[in-house]
Amino acid sequence: MSSVGRVINVLAALLVSAAVLALFAVGYGPVPALGRALVPGHGAWASAPGGQPIHSQTLSLPGLAHPVSVAFTSHGVASVRAADEADAYLALGYLHARFRLTEMDLERRLGEGRIAQLAGPAGLSSDRFELRLGLLRTAQAEWAATPRTSPAAQVLIAYSRGVNDYLAQARRTGQWPSLFGLTGVYPTPWTPTDSLVLQGVLTQELDYTTTPLDYAILARTLGPHHTMAWFPLLAPGRGTPYDPGPYKYHGLAPIAPQSTTAFTRAAGRAASPPPTSQAQASGGGAAAERPAGGEPAAMAAGLVPGPAAKGPVPGPAARVASLSDPSSSRASGTTAATTADDRQRAEAPVSGPGSSSNPITAHVATAAAAMLAQANALPAGLIHEYPDSNAWAANGPKVSGAKSMLAGDPHLPQTVPSIWYQVALSAPGLSVTGVSVPGLPGVLIGHNAHIAWSLTDTQNQATLFYTERTSKTRPGQYFWRGAWRRMRQVHYTIPVRGGPAVHLTVNITVHGPVMTQAGQTTSVDWMGNIPSPDISVIIGVTHARDFAQFHAALADWRAPSQNFVYADDRGNIGAISAGYYPLVRHGDPWLPMPGTGADDVAGVIPYASVPQVYDPPGHVVATANQRPVGPSYPYYIGTSANFFDPGYRAGEIYASLRGQRGMHPASFAAIQLSLTDRLAQQIVPRLLAALRGAHLSAQQQEAAALLHGWDATMAQHSAAAPLWWTFWGDYLDAVFRPWWKAAKVPVHKDPPGLAISPQNQFSLDQVLASWTTGDPANSAFSPPGGPHRTAPEVMRAAFATAVAHLAATLHGAPSSWAWGRIHSRQFPSVTQADALGYGPRASGADSWTVNAADGGLVSHQGPSWRMIVAWAGHGTATGESVYPGGQSENPASPWYEDQMADWWDGRYLALPPAGGYPAGQVRWSLRP
């Protein structure tokens, strides 16, 4: 080789060596630092010790005041015994981090808009959304407003210290979970604000809805007439309210004020400036401007009552009766005659029913579509889509061998690891057992020495959208209460893995953050943006000894609104739907409303008037996300469209409870595991009646025979179950698709909210069931411009279509079909890595069964925790529970999914007593 060639060779070798070493040392773009990440024993491989079965040992935890012992059951359920509460919560923080650090950090990143730092540009849409929405701003405001000497602050500080003790240990040993070792992006120290952000994420999952945006698009396309007829305020039927009344109207309660300094400090911005100019219209002005604390949305309602803050807010019945669109009244059970027709929708702007001041213009629809696109780009489960959970209690003659019993099974997105971490805590004054949420201190569902409680989502409308009036000549301003106001701006820099950081500016109006400026500047007033002292409330509930204390503790709960079901050792039962129910004086809150001031949130339902019962005469109380009150309830709490469960689960629970006396825990377990589809019970006889005498093929006859002998059980091996499901979907499709098609409903803009599919559009399910049983000649059965049809005719056609569908899918004779052949459950991993999840696995159940499976044919939401508590006497409870998954997030751990089989097969494990077990197979001694 010549000398020149030799030099070139050396240079090339040096260059390539440097490039390879640099790539392996620091990574490039989305490629991680492979050398650091994959060196055996370190990087991603370092998680192996965390997957080993744990053993008894002594650990040093700085921050502890006294020694703490932790005993583990064979399933890894920890019993923490501490000398004071702060130590107990510090130990809980350590346990959460030890077993769920990846889950905690991912949730924190999600809420704080830092997913892109880990996942690269793919995470940007989520980060932008969350930073706009403002979970971080709200958490910062809440923490700033929390007195440091308060119990909640003490608990949050102790908990954070426990998490950080584990982070320090991981930093010292390098034994991080694989995700961090692989990416090289490690968790930052935990702060109380992080816990409050996680509280916000949970609130968002349970409370943030986009239904008003879907209403806007439907009103724009279907027209207000059909929109409110098919998505009415009150669903047809009597419903199954757990609080049947009588109700009292107590006026409006102000929204609690909060710190005005936290947000300003966090954002580094001054408070909203005064109006930049006064418009000729009166009614506003600088004095009415909202403060800058927390999220401004809805806050001023408490501080600055709106101009019409007197007089009753009409309840649903009154509002429906006042609607200009009589069809909605009909669907809601009122008696007005139909006068509107579809020509209305050809006119622009389209007015929403009941308010001529609420135009759904093309711009509003464009903005709605833009916001729906944002929402659909989010990870699954972040927008509240499905009703969640069952909880009921019984006492008196309804139970045997116990003074009262309580059952709870919250239905949440089912992931591996689970959202829950089971634990029992014991300290002087503290004795509790149940499930906690990793990242949050406290036991959210469980029991203490005297009371037991479980939660279901209330489902009331907590998200309101406002179309802001803006002007091209006044950039950065909006018109509110007679004056032009300057939007406040918050600037963020989003770190992006493998790319340059992205800057984001969030504009904030008096209603809340501006979510889009496409078409029409639209902001959101979401109750989750109001700091809610949930930690403080949970501490209060944990210490409550009776219903009075339980009731008092829940008074401060704001979001997410929840039905707290209660049973105690004295034999009392009850339920309270705690939380904020926003109310407006004017306008239609189920649609985007004008943001000029008149339609602002004027207050919330006073705590004394929220749905609640105590020791009901029937000795049972049950919530399954159904509308908790009857039609005479004097306040607006939401519409039928995705805000409330149709009540099939609640109906089944009530039917089971009322039909029995002397129930045992096994009786409750049977209800929790029930696969009866109450809608099928209602509709299948009508279908069979429609088929009677009709000309059916041999295959159709065989299929109909299956339905004849069917008990409406959505069992995995049922041959009739897939027939029912498919029929119902085809029936919905046959009735509504012609209307959707004629109106050009842009389903693609939000398939979850606009598509016609079974158990997705709850309103359509309910109105169609109502027409089928009570109004078979409803005009909706006749397609626009098509021949006249009745329910039986459409049912026959849908049945034929369903049989053909199943024959093409499952083949063979109908008797060989099985629900489990087309329906499965899937438990995705929180890391989004498919192989780390569980399933899909053939399964029974559907959305209307008490043992629910939400999400369609591949269900990903259902009972995330099953618990039954029986109070035998004073301070004496026996409990059983199970959840799908396991205590550890480490796939190598024996506790990764060790409870899955028990959950799947309907078995329960013993729930540790309040305060936990004094000893276990494995025991940790935690020393200061």
Partner 1 sequence: MADLRRLGKRGSYRLGRLGGPRPAPSAPPAPHYPSFAPHHRGPIGLWLLACLAGVVIVAAGALAGWWFLPFLAGLAGGLIAHYGRWRLRVSLPAVMLIAAAGWGGALWSLVRGGLPEGAVAREIAALAGLPASSAVAIAVTLLVAVIQAAVGLWLGRALAPGYGLR
**Alpha carbons within 13 A on the beta-carbon side of 725:** 30
> Would you call 335 exposed, middle or buried from its count of C-beta atoms within 10 A (0-12, 13-18, 19+)?
exposed
* Cβ at position 922, least distance to partner 1 in Å: 16
Nearer to partner 1, 20 or 362 (CB): 20
* Cβ at position 34, least distance to partner 1 in Å: 5
Q: 156 with 535: CB under 8 angstroms?
A: yes
> Would you call 878 exposed, middle or buried from its count of C-beta atoms within 10 A (0-12, 13-18, 19+)?
middle
Q: 683 with 652: CB under 8 angstroms?
A: no
Q: 155 with 145: CB under 8 angstroms?
A: no
For residue 733, give both structure tokens. Answer: 């499709």
Residue with tokens 């945006």: 213
Residue 4 contacts partner 1 per CB under 8 A: no
For residue 593, give both structure tokens. Answer: 């409303």
Nearer to partner 1, 37 or 197 (CB): 37
Query: 140, 160, 164, 178: which one contacts partner 1 (CB under 8 A)?
Result: 178
Nearer to partner 1, 16 or 362 (CB): 16
As a dihedral over the C-alpha atoms of residue 135, residue 136, residue 141, residue 145, rounded to 10 degrees, the angle is 100
Residue with tokens 């005659």: 337
Nearer to partner 1, 21 or 777 (CB): 21
Q: 309 with 513: CB under 8 angstroms?
A: no
Taking CA 464 as the corner, what is the angle to CA 458 and CA 470, rounded to the nearest 5 degrees?
A: 170
* Cβ at position 71, least distance to partner 1 in Å: 23
Nearest to 456 by CA among 242, 649, 623, 704: 623
Provide CB contacts within 8 A for 132, sequence distance 6+: 504, 506, 513, 514, 515
393/404 Cα distance (integer angstroms): 7
How many contiguous H segments (helices) and E segments (strands) does the chain have? Answer: 28, 35
Nearer to partner 1, 379 or 856 (CB): 379
* Cβ at position 13, least distance to partner 1 in Å: 4
* Cβ at position 832, least distance to partner 1 in Å: 9
* Cβ at position 341, least distance to partner 1 in Å: 54
Beta partners for 504? 492
Q: Which stretch binds partner 1 (CB under 8 A): 12-20, 416-424, 879-887, 898-906?
A: 12-20
Q: 417 with 103: CB under 8 angstroms?
A: yes
> Would you call 6 exposed, middle or buried from its count of C-beta atoms within 10 A (0-12, 13-18, 19+)?
exposed
Residue 662 contacts partner 1 per CB under 8 A: no
Residue 171 contacts partner 1 per CB under 8 A: no
* Cβ at position 178, least distance to partner 1 in Å: 5
Site for partner 1 in 697-736 (CB under 8 A): none
Nearer to partner 1, 178 or 324 (CB): 178
Nearer to partner 1, 698 or 835 (CB): 835
CA distances from 452 to 123, 400, 434, 442, 568 (A): 40, 17, 9, 14, 6
For residue 571, give both structure tokens. Answer: 């034999």
Query: 138, 609, 626, 831: which one contacts partner 1 (CB under 8 A)?
Result: 831
* Cβ at position 81, least distance to partner 1 in Å: 30
Residue 905 contacts partner 1 per CB under 8 A: no
Nearer to partner 1, 648 or 895 (CB): 895
H helix runs in 791-904, sequence order? 791-810, 819-822, 900-904
Provide CB contacts within 8 A for 433, sequence distance 6+: 423, 424, 425, 443, 446, 447, 448, 879, 911, 912, 913, 914, 915, 916
Residue 688 contacts partner 1 per CB under 8 A: no
Nearer to partner 1, 9 or 809 (CB): 9
Binding string, 788-827, against partner 1, x = CB under 8 A? ----------------------------------------
Q: Which stretch binds partner 1 (CB under 8 A): 1-9, 254-262, 444-452, 865-873?
A: 1-9
Strands (E), 517-611: 522-526, 562-568, 573-578, 582-584, 593-594, 601-604
Total residues contacting partner 1 (rule CB under 8 A)? 41
Residue with tokens 């996680």: 198
* Cβ at position 35, least distance to partner 1 in Å: 4
* Cβ at position 55, least distance to partner 1 in Å: 11
Query: 27, 337, 565, 836: which one contacts partner 1 (CB under 8 A)?
Result: 836
Residue 9 contacts partner 1 per CB under 8 A: yes
Q: Which stretch binds partner 1 (CB under 8 A): 11-19, 80-88, 207-215, 785-793?
A: 11-19
Query: 348, 777, 813, 892: which one contacts partner 1 (CB under 8 A)?
Result: 892
* Cβ at position 562, least distance to partner 1 in Å: 34
Query: 293, 439, 783, 891: which one contacts partner 1 (CB under 8 A)?
Result: 891
DSSP-assigned letter for residue 629 = B
Nearer to partner 1, 82 or 179 (CB): 179
Residue 439 contacts partner 1 per CB under 8 A: no
Q: Which stretch binds partner 1 (CB under 8 A): 9-17, 248-256, 861-869, 916-924?
A: 9-17
Sheet strand arrangement including 451-457: 57-60, 922-927, 68-72, 78-81, 421-427, 430-436, 445-448, 451-457, 562-568, 573-578, 612-614
As a dihedral over the C-alpha atoms of residue 466, residue 625, residue 391, residue 628, rounded to 10 degrees, the angle is 90
End-to-end CA distance of the chain: give it in Å, rounded: 68
* Cβ at position 27, least distance to partner 1 in Å: 12
Query: 29, 56, 58, 174: which one contacts partner 1 (CB under 8 A)?
Result: 174
As a dihedral over the C-alpha atoms of residue 470, residue 476, residue 477, residue 478, rounded to 10 degrees, the angle is 40
Nearer to partner 1, 21 or 168 (CB): 21
Nearest to 420 by CA among 95, 86, 85: 95
Nearer to partner 1, 558 or 860 (CB): 860
Q: Which stretch binds partner 1 (CB under 8 A): 16-24, 64-72, 155-163, 585-593?
A: 16-24
Taking residue 641's Cβ as centre, other Cβ atoms within 10 Å add up to 27
Q: Which amino acid makes up residue 627?
A: R
Residue 651 contacts partner 1 per CB under 8 A: no
* Cβ at position 25, least distance to partner 1 in Å: 8
Nearer to partner 1, 37 or 679 (CB): 37
Site for partner 1 in 17-76 (CB under 8 A): 17, 20-21, 24-25, 34-36, 38-45, 47-49, 51-52
671/622 Cα distance (integer angstroms): 12
For residue 838, give both structure tokens. Answer: 């569980």
451/572 Cα distance (integer angstroms): 9
* Cβ at position 39, least distance to partner 1 in Å: 4
Q: Is 880 helix (H, G, I), strand (E, B) or coil?
A: strand
Nearer to partner 1, 319 or 860 (CB): 860
Nearer to partner 1, 854 or 889 (CB): 889
Residue with tokens 């796939």: 891
* Cβ at position 30, least distance to partner 1 in Å: 10
* Cβ at position 378, least distance to partner 1 in Å: 20
H helix runs in 336-477, sequence order? 362-376
Nearer to partner 1, 50 or 352 (CB): 50
* Cβ at position 20, least distance to partner 1 in Å: 5
* Cβ at position 40, least distance to partner 1 in Å: 4
Residues found near partner 1 in the complex (CB under 8 A): 1, 6, 9-10, 12-14, 16-17, 20-21, 24-25, 34-36, 38-45, 47-49, 51-52, 174, 178-179, 182, 829, 831, 833-836, 891-892
